[in-house]
Amino acid sequence: MDRFLLPKAYQAGTLLLTSLLGILLIGLLALFGSLSMPMGWAAFIVWKQKSTPGAETALWFYGAQLVLNALWSVFFFGLKNPGLAFGEIILLLFFIALTTFLFWRLNPLAGALMFPYLAWVIFASCLNYAIWQLNK
């Protein structure tokens, strides 16, 4: 169907929805970029010190929390199980906090670069809990 034959209100609504989705996508890309880049930088700082005692352990926990982060998406979005996802995100928070602590001990800048991610996951945990409770 030719879009020029559709009512003007429908065209305006479609344009508004498309614009809002575009803005949301740009916002999400900016958010994840602003979280991923400092995390990667922190891991690189620690990786450069890999001969320092404790660096291997810190990088292991860093990798483990990345795996847990991916699993949360599977539980929440894939399985549509916010209760299971909430339990998993609490474990994820523990791993992020431990990684941040271990990074901080090796290099305070590396630890500080993990704080935005930790804050975001705390916020996401609150949202996850609320969604779980609202859908019981």
pLDDT tens per residue, range 77-116: 999 999 999 999 999 999 999 999 999 999 999 999 999 9
Residue labelled with tokens 């065209």: 11
What is the per-residue pLDDT for 29?
74
Helix (H, G, I), strand (E, B) or coil at 37: helix
Number of Cβ atoms within 10 Å of the Cβ of 42: 26
* Token pair recorded at residue 96: 């992020």
Distance separating alpha carbons of residues 82 and 89, to the nearest angstrom = 10
CA distances in angstroms from 9 to 4, 83, 128, listed in the order given: 12, 41, 36
pLDDT tens per residue, range 63-72: 999 999 999 9
Helix (H) or strand (E) holding 105: helix 82-106
- The residue-averaged pLDDT of 45-54 equals 96
The amino acid sitting at 5 is L
User: Which residues, other chains included, contact 39 with Cβ-Cβ below 8 Å and sequence gap of 6+?
Assistant: 113, 114, 117
Distance separating alpha carbons of residues 66 and 101, to the nearest angstrom = 16
pLDDT tens per residue, range 3-49: 555 455 555 556 666 777 777 778 777 777 788 999 999 999 999 99
